[in-house]
Amino acid sequence: MSNRQIGTIVLVIAMFIVAISVLFTNNLARALQDEERKNMSIWADATRQLIFAEDDADIDFVSSIIEKNTTIPVYICDSEGNILASRNVDEKKLKAKKLNDKPHGPIELKINEETTQYIYWDDSSLLTRLRYVPYAQFLLIFIFIAVAVITMLTGQRSEENRLWVGLSKETAHQLGTPISSLNAWQQLLADKYPEDEYVPQMKRDIERLQMIADRFQKIGSEPDLQEADLIPVVEDAVAYMRRRVSSRITINDEALQGVQRNVMLNGPLLKWVIENLLKNAVDAISGEGSITLYLHENEHEVMLDITDTGKGIDNKTQRRIFEPGFTSKDRGWGLGLPLAKRIIEQYHGGKLLLKSSQIGVGTTFRIVLKKPENS
C-alpha cells in the first residue's frame, strides 16, 4: 500500500470520527437545550407563584426552585425589552439595560391587567461549551493529520534521498572497474596503432564514461557550488548534443551568444541536467524540428528556457513527469527528470519546472538559478 493510499485512509477515518462526534454532540446539545427549556418553564411558574403567593403558599419551596438555578442566565424584561431583573448574568451585559441579542423565550409573566413582563434566558455555560466541542475535536484531528502527513512525507523524502544516494554511488562504483579496464586497453591500442584515427575517439568516449561516473559519485555529496558564468556550461552541453543529433534537428543558442551571466553552480552536474533536457527535447521531435534556448533574469535569478517543437505533453502526463520511475517512453527508467530536478532544486537551490507544453506545438522547460549574493 502506497503512502498516498495510507494518507487517504487516515483522512477518511478522521473525517468519519469528526462526523460521528458532531452528530453525537449536536444530539446531546439538543437534549440539554430541551432540558433547560423545561427547567425554565418550572422556574417561570415558581416566579409567578412567588409574585402571587397566598398566605398558605409554601414560600420556602418556591424560593428553593428559583435559587437552584445557578447556571442558566435569566432576564425579566418589560414589553420594550428593558431588563428589570436578572440572574446568573455577567454585569457587562447589564450595562446596556436592554436585551439586544436573541435569547430563548419569552415566557409571559402577567403582573396585572395593564402590566406584562417577559422571561428570557440564554444557554448555560455548559451548553455553550458543549457546542464548541466538535470544533475542538476537528482542530485536534486536523493537527493530528497534519503531523502524520508531515512525518510521512519527511520519511518518504528521507527514504528517497537514501535511494538516490545509494543508486548513484553504486552506479559509479560499478562503472569504475570497466572504465579502468577500457583505459588500459585504449593505452595498449594507442601504443600499438599510434596512427589509427579511431583510437583518439575511443579515448574521448572513455573520458566521457569517466565523467558520467564522476557525476554519479557527486550525487549525495555536499554540493560544491561556485560563482561562475552559466553560458560556457550551456554551450558545452549544446556542442555535445549537436554532434549526436540528426541534421534535421537544429539547436539554436544564438540568444546566448556574447552574453555573460554569473550564477552559483556546480559545472558537471548542471551540464548533466542541460544535456538531459536537450536529449528529452530531441526525443520529442519526430523528424524535423528545432530546439531553442532563451535567457531571462531578474534581480536575484537567472532563468534558462529550453523550448522544442516536439509532440508536446498531455495534461495527465504533465502532472507526473517528475515522479521517480514514471516514463512515457517505450524504453527508459523514468529517472532523468526526477534526478535533474533534484540536482537543480536540492543541490543548487534553484527550480526546474515545466513552463508550458501543448500537444503538437512543443514544450518549454525552465531552469532557475540563483545569482551570487554580491552581484
3-state secondary structure 146-162: HHHHHHHHHHHHHHHHH
Q: CA distances (Å), 342 to each of 16, 18, 164, in order?
A: 38, 39, 10
The burial class, CB within 10 Å (0-12 / 13-18 / 19+), for 63 is middle
Whole-prediction pTM: 0.54
Strand, coil or helix: what is 296? strand
Q: Distance (Å, rounded) from C-alpha 84 to C-alpha 51?
A: 15
The burial class, CB within 10 Å (0-12 / 13-18 / 19+), for 270 is buried
Q: Distance (Å, rounded) from C-alpha 140 to C-alpha 134?
A: 10
Greatest Cα pair distance, the chain, in angstroms, is 136
DSSP letters along 334-366, please? S-HHHHHHHIIIIISS-EEEEEEEETTTEEEEE
The domains located in the chain, with CATH, are 3-127 (no CATH), 223-370 (3.30.565.10)
Instruction: Work out the pLDDT band at 31, boundaries 50, 70, 90.
Output: confident
Beta strands 362-370 and 351-358 are: antiparallel
* Phi, then psi, of 243 in degrees rounded to 5: -75, -10
- Residues with Cβ within 8 Å of 289's Cβ and at least 6 positions away in sequence, in order, are 248, 249, 250, 308, 309, 310
Query: Which of these ranges, 172-181, 282-291, 334-343, has the smallest mean pLDDT?
Result: 172-181
Q: Alpha-carbon Rg of the chain, whole angstroms?
A: 39
Q: Do the Cβ atoms of 134 and 120 come closer than 8 Å?
A: no
Query: Does the pLDDT of residue 282 top 80, yes or no?
Result: yes
Residue with cell 416566579: 47
Share of the chain above pLDDT 90, in %: 24
Instruction: Work out the pLDDT band at 306, boundaries 50, 70, 90.
Output: very high
Model pLDDT for residues 331-351, shown as the tens digit of each residue: 665 678 888 898 899 889 999
Strand, coil or helix: what is 143? helix
State the cell numbers at 146. Answer: 497534519
User: Taking all residues of the chain, what is their mean pLDDT, rounded to a whole number?
Assistant: 81
Instruction: Work out the pLDDT band at 17, boundaries 50, 70, 90.
Output: confident
Residues 6-13, mean pLDDT to the nearest whole number: 72
Measuring CA to CA, which residue among 101, 105, 88, 103 is closest to residue 41? 105
Residues 225-238, mean pLDDT to the nearest whole number: 93
Q: What is the pLDDT of residue 55?
A: 54
Q: What is the pLDDT of residue 320?
A: 87
Model pLDDT for residues 124-164, shown as the tens digit of each residue: 878 878 777 777 777 877 787 777 777 766 666 666 666 66
For residue 209, the one-letter residue type is: L
Query: Which of these ranges, 104-113, 265-274, 305-314, 351-360, has the smallest mean pLDDT?
Result: 104-113
Query: Does the pLDDT of residue 270 top 70, yes or no?
Result: yes
- pLDDT higher at 374 or 229: 229
Provide the residue count of the chain. Answer: 375
Model pLDDT for residues 62-108, shown as the tens digit of each residue: 567 677 777 888 888 888 778 888 888 777 666 655 666 667 878 88
- pLDDT higher at 132 or 370: 370
